[in-house]
Amino acid sequence: MGHITLNLKDETLATLRKDFEAFLRVSLKLDPQFATPSFEDFLRAKLLDNMVPLTEHAVQRMLAGGQYAWAKRTLDKEFPEVVSILMRQATAFGFGFASRPEWTPEELTKQCRDWAEAIVTEAQGESMLIDPLAAQIKASVQDMRVLEETMQTPAWRLSESMRQRIYEAKIGCETSTGSTARERLGELRGLLRLAINHGAFQKQEAQQIVEYLRLLKPEIFVEEPDDLFSRLAAWLRNVFIPPRNNEPHGHGQSH
C-alpha cells in the first residue's frame, strides 16, 4: 500500500478537524452506537472524495447486533412468534402474564389490540404489525385467577384456607346437634360472608350451601328460647359433653 505525506497549513488542518467533528456529531446524533472512524480515515475519504468506507464498518456492526438486528431477525421470521415465546415461557421461569378476570372475550380482544397499537406506535413500527402482535398477546395471556393458582400467591393461599374453613364448618353443622350445631352455623355464615367479600366464593354457591343445610337440619335455623331452663340445659351440656377440640385432628376432613 502506498503512502502519501501531506503538508497542510494550520488553517487548512483546523478546517478539516472541524469537518471531522461535525461528521461525528451528526452521525452520533442519528445513531448513538455509530462506529466512529479515525481522523486519518476521514482524511483518506476526503482525498478520495468517497465517504462510503467511513460508514461501512458502522453499518456492518448495526446489521450484526443491537436492537436493529433483533428487530430484523424477528421481522424476517427467524423468531416469528417472539412475543408468544416470551409469554409462554414466563411461567416456567417464575413469571406471569395475566388479564383482569372480569373482562369479557370482546373486552379482552379490544385491550390486546389497544396495547399492541401502543407498542407499535411507540416503536415507530408499521401498522400492519398491530393485529399479529395483538393476536400473540391474546393467545398468551392467562386469567388472573388461573395465574394466582399456578403461582400460589398469598391471595390464593388465603382463599384456599378460607374454603377449607368453610368446608369444616359445614361438616360441623351436619354432624353436630343443638346449640353446637347452631354455633357452627353462625361460624359458617360469617365465613361465607367474608369469602364472598374477598371473591373466594360466589354468592350463589354460598346460598346453595345454606339451603342444603336448611333442608338437612331445619331445626338449627330456629333460635333456641332464651330462658332459665334453656341456659341451664346449655350449661349442663357444656359440663357433660366433651369439647370438640379433644377430637382427633382432621376428623372433619375424613367425611
pLDDT tier at 108 (50, 70, 90 boundaries)?
A: very high
Distance of CA 112 to the CA centre of its chain: 14
| 103 touches 111 (CB < 8 A) | yes
Distance of CA 17 to the CA centre of its chain: 53
Helix (H) or strand (E) run with residue 98 in it: strand 98-99
In degrees, rounded to 5, the angle at the alpha carbon of residue 146 between the alpha carbons of residues 143 and 95 is 90
Q: Stretch 209-234: mean pLDDT, rounded?
A: 74
Does the pLDDT at position 99 exceed 80?
Answer: yes
Which of 43, 42, 24, 44 has the alpha carbon at shortest distance from 34? 24
**pTM assigned to the model:** 0.43
CA distance 142 to 216: 40
pLDDT of residue 111: 93
pLDDT in tens, 112-147: 999 989 988 887 777 888 888 888 888 888 888 888
